Amino acid sequence: MPEGPSIVILKELVQSFKGKKIKEVSGNTTKIDLHRLKGKTILDFKSWGKHFLICFKDFTIRIHFLMFGSYRINEEKEAMPRLHLGFSKGQLNFYICSIKLIESRTCGTDEVYDWSGDVMNDAWNKTKAKKKLKVHPEMLVCDALLDQHIFAGVGNIIKNEVLYRIKVHPESNVGALPVAKLNSLLKEAVNYSFEFLKWKKEFTLRAHWLAHNKKICPRCNIPFTRKYLGKFNRRTFFCTSCQVLYSL
**What pLDDT score was predicted for residue 1?**
72
Residues 146, 228: one domain? Answer: yes
Any domain includes 35 = yes
Residues 151, 231: one domain? Answer: yes
**What pLDDT score was predicted for residue 107?**
59
Last residue of a domain, one of 61, 88, 113: 113
Residues 60, 153: one domain? Answer: no
Residues 80, 122: one domain? Answer: no
Residues 52, 131: one domain? Answer: no
Count of structural domains, the chain = 2
**What pLDDT score was predicted for residue 2?**
84
Residues 39, 64: one domain? Answer: yes
Question: Measured between alpha carbons, how far is 234 from 209 in angstroms, rounded to an integer?
Answer: 17
**What pLDDT score was predicted for residue 110?**
66
Residues 106, 34: one domain? Answer: yes
Q: Which domain range does residue 232 map to? A: 116-238
Residues 42, 137: one domain? Answer: no
Any domain includes 96 = yes
Any domain includes 247 = no
Residues 37, 81: one domain? Answer: yes
Last residue of a domain, one of 113, 142, 162: 113
Residues 102, 123: one domain? Answer: no
**What pLDDT score was predicted for residue 67?**
85
Any domain includes 244 = no
Any domain includes 139 = yes
**What pLDDT score was predicted for residue 149?**
94
Any domain includes 176 = yes
**What pLDDT score was predicted for residue 112?**
79
> Tens-of-pLDDT digits for all 248 residues of the chain?
789 999 999 999 999 999 999 999 999 998 899 999 999 999 999 999 999 999 998 899 999 999 889 999 999 998 999 999 999 999 999 999 999 999 876 655 667 788 999 999 999 999 999 999 999 999 999 999 999 999 999 999 999 999 999 999 999 999 999 999 999 999 999 999 999 999 999 999 999 999 999 999 999 999 999 999 999 999 999 999 999 999 99
Any domain includes 246 = no
**What pLDDT score was predicted for residue 214?**
97
Residues 100, 178: one domain? Answer: no
Residues 129, 153: one domain? Answer: yes
The CATH number covering residue 21 comes to 3.20.190.10
The CATH number covering residue 196 comes to 1.10.8.50
